[in-house]
C-alpha cells in the first residue's frame, strides 16, 4: 500500500504525552498514516529521551526512538501565554489530541477539551491517566505496577510472599492505556463521520485492566469466591496450566487445558493413570508432573512434545524469541527505524496489519527535539 493510501492519511494528531502509554498510542496512529506532532518542553523534551540505553553518536534513547518513529517534534513552553498561542493554528485544524497529564493540568493551561472544542468542534480529545478524570484516586501519582496492583491483578499470581514476582509486561500502560486510547479514537473518528463533531475520551489505565481477569470476575460475581495468589486454574492452581522446570534449568510452559490436550500430555510424560483425573487431588498431580518433567532436559521434552498436539513448549529466552523462524517469516521485524547517524535497527512491532503501515523498506527516524519548529511556526 502506498503511503498516501494509509487509513489515517491526512489526519493531524497533537501529542502532549510522554513516556509510554500516550506515545505508543500515537505511534500506532502514525504507523497507520496520521501526521503526529509531539509538543515538547524546550531543552528537555519527553522524559523518555533520557532513558538508557543510548543509540548513536548523539546519545539518543533507543526507547524514545522505538516509541516515536515517524513523528514530528516542536518545542513550546506551555506556561508562557505567548508561546502557547503558537498552537492556535494547529489546534484549529487538528483531528486528534492526546494528553497524559494529571487531571486539571490542561485546564490550567487553557488547553482543556471544553476550551478547545469551542475553537474546533471536530476535535477528538483523548486523556490517558491512571485512574480517570474523577473519583477519589484521580490525583494520585502512579505507574503500571500501582495500577495493576490496585486492580487486583497482581494479587492473583505474584509468587511467594517473601519473593513476590514483578510482571515483565507493562500491562496497564500498554493494554490499559495505549490500546484503549487507539480503539476509542478510531470509534470517535467513525462517529464524527456521522455527527461532524468530536468528543472527549477519558481513558483510565487501572480500570482497563479488569478485562484480563474476566474469569476472576465471574467467580466473584456469581459464586462469591475471590481467587487467591496462584490458586486458580489459570494462575497455577491446576496441573493443566503451569510452568514446570526441566533437568537443565529451562522451563516447560504446559497449557493442556482441554481434555484432549491433557490426555496427549499425560501420554507424552508417562503420568500414571490414577493421577490423570486431576480433579481428585490437584496437588498430587502437580507434584508428580513436576517430578517427571524435572527428570529430563528441555531438549528431550521439546523432541517428545513435537507433533503431539498437547499445548506444551519450552519457554524461550528473549534472544531465542528474536530469532524465532515463526516471527521472522512473518516479517515482524521488517520495518526499519533510522538513527540520526544513518544506521538502522528494527522498528517496534505493532499490532497493525502490514498493508496499513506503508512501505517496510523505508528507514524512518524518530524526531530530534524541536526538529520541526520552523515547519509549524
Residue in the structure block whose three cell numbers are 481434555: 259
* pLDDT recorded at residue 3: 46
What are 340's three cell numbers? Answer: 540520526
pLDDT at 200 over 90: yes
* pLDDT recorded at residue 1: 46
pLDDT tens sequence across 215-262:
999 999 999 999 999 999 999 999 999 999 999 999 999 999 999 999
pLDDT at 304 over 70: yes
- Give dist(CA 315, CA 101) in Å, integer: 38
Under a CB-based contact definition with an 8 Å cutoff, are residues 64 and 51 in contact? yes
pLDDT at 84 over 90: yes
pLDDT above 90 coverage of the chain, percent: 93
What are 136's three cell numbers? Answer: 477519589
- Give dist(CA 241, CA 233) in Å, integer: 7
Q: What is the mean pLDDT of residues 133-148?
A: 97
Catalytic residue status for 372: no
Bridge partners, residue 313, by sequence: 253
Q: What is the mean pLDDT of residues 83-94?
A: 96
Distances (CA, A) of 189 to 120, 201, 203: 14, 12, 16
* pLDDT recorded at residue 167: 93
This prediction's pTM? 0.95
Bridge partners, residue 126, by sequence: 98, 201
Distances (CA, A) of 369 to 44, 172, 281, 374: 8, 27, 61, 12
pLDDT above 70 coverage of the chain, percent: 99
3-state SS record for the chain: CCHHHCCCCCCEEEECCCCCHHHHHHHHHHHCCCEEEEEECCCCCCHHHHCCCEECCCCEEHHHHHHCCCCEEEECCCCCHHHHHCCHHHHHHCCEEEECCCCCHHHHCCCCHHHHHHHCCCCEEEEEECCCCCCCCCCCCCCHHHHHHHCCHHHHCCCCCCCCCCCCCCHHHHHHHHHHHHHHHHHHHHHHHHHCCCEEEEEECCHHHHHHHHHHHHHHHHHCCCCCCCCCCCCCCCCCCEEEECCCCCEEEECCCCHHHHHHHHHHHCCCHHHCCCCCCHHHHHHHHHHHHHCCCHHHHHHHHCCCCCCEEECCCHHHHHCCHHHHHCCCCCCEEECCCCCEEECCCCCCCHHHCCCCCCCEECCCCCCCHHHHC
What are 151's three cell numbers? Answer: 486492580
Under a CB-based contact definition with an 8 Å cutoff, are residues 349 and 332 in contact? yes
pLDDT tens sequence across 347-377:
999 999 999 998 788 899 999 999 999 999 9
Q: What is the mean pLDDT of residues 303-325?
A: 97
Q: Which of 46, 95, 173, 278 is catalytic?
A: 173
pLDDT at 4 over 80: no
pLDDT at 92 over 50: yes
Q: What is the mean pLDDT of residues 87-100?
A: 97
Biggest CA pair distance of the chain:
79
Minimum mean pLDDT range among 1-10, 115-124, 237-246, 347-356: 1-10
pLDDT at 185 over 90: yes
Q: What is the mean pLDDT of residues 323-331?
A: 95
Catalytic residue status for 143: yes
Domains and CATH numbers, the chain: 3-205+331-376 (3.40.50.10540), 251-314 (no CATH)
Amino acid at each position: 500500500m502506498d503511503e498516501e493510501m494509509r487509513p489515517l492519511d491526512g489526519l493531524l494528531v497533537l501529542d502532549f504525552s510522554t513516556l509510554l502509554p500516550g506515545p505508543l498510542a500515537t505511534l500506532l496512529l502514525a504507523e497507520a498514516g496520521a501526521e503526529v506532532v509531539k509538543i515538547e518542553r524546550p531543552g528537555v523534551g519527553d522524559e523518555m529521551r533520557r532513558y538508557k540505553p543510548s543509540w548513536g553518536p548523539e546519545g539518543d534513547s533507543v526507547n524514545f526512538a522505538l516509541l516515536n518513529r515517524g513523528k514530528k517534534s516542536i518545542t513550546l513552553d506551555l506556561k508562557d501565554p505567548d508561546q502557547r498561542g503558537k498552537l492556535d493554528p494547529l489546534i484549529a485544524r487538528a483531528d486528534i489530541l492526546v494528553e497524559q497529564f494529571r487531571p486539571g493540568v490542561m485546564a490550567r493551561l487553557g488547553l482543556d477539551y471544553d476550551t478547545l472544542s469551542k475553537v474546533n468542534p471536530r476535535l477528538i480529545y483523548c486523556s490517558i491517566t491512571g485512574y480517570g478524570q474523577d473519583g477519589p484516586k484521580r490525583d494520585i501519582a502512579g505507574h503500571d505496577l500501582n495500577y495493576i496492583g490496585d486492580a487486583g491483578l497482581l494479587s492473583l499470581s505474584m509468587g511467594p510472599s517473601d519473593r513476590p514476582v514483578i510482571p515483565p509486561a507493562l500491562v496497564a500502560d500498554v493494554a490499559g492505556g495505549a490500546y484503549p486510547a487507539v480503539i476509542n479514537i478510531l470509534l470517535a473518528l467513525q462517529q464524527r463521520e456521522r455527527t461532524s463533531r468530536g468528543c472527549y475520551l477519558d481513558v483510565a489505565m487501572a480500570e482497563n485492566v479488569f478485562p484480563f481477569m474476566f474469569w476472576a470476575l465471574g467467580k466473584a460475581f456469581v459464586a462469591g469466591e475471590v481467587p487467591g495468589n496462584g490458586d486458580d486454574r489459570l494462575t497455577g492452581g491446576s496441573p493443566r496450566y503451569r510452568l514446570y522446570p526441566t533437568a537443565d534449568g529451562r522451563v516447560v510452559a504446559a497449557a493442556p487445558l482441554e481434555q484432549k490436550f491433557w490426555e496427549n500430555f499425560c501420554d507424552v510424560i508417562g503420568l500414571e493413570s490414577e493421577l490423570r483425573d486431576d480433579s481428585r487431588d490437584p496437588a498430587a498431580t502437580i507434584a508428580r508432573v513436576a517430578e517427571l518433567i524435572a527428570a529430563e532436559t528441555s531438549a528431550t521434552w521439546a523432541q517428545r512434545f513435537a507433533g503431539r498436539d498437547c499445548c506444551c513448549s519450552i519457554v524461550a529466552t528473549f534472544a531465542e524469541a528474536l530469532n524465532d523462524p515463526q516471527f521472522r517469516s512473518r516479517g515482524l521485524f521488517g520495518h526499519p527505524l533510522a538513527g540520526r547517524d544513518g544506521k538502522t535497527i528494527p522498528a517496534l512491532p505493532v499490532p497493525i496489519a502490514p498493508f496499513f503501515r506503508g512501505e517496510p523498506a523505508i528507514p524512518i527516524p524518530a524526531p530530534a527535539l524541536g526538529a520541526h519548529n520552523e515547519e509549524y511556526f
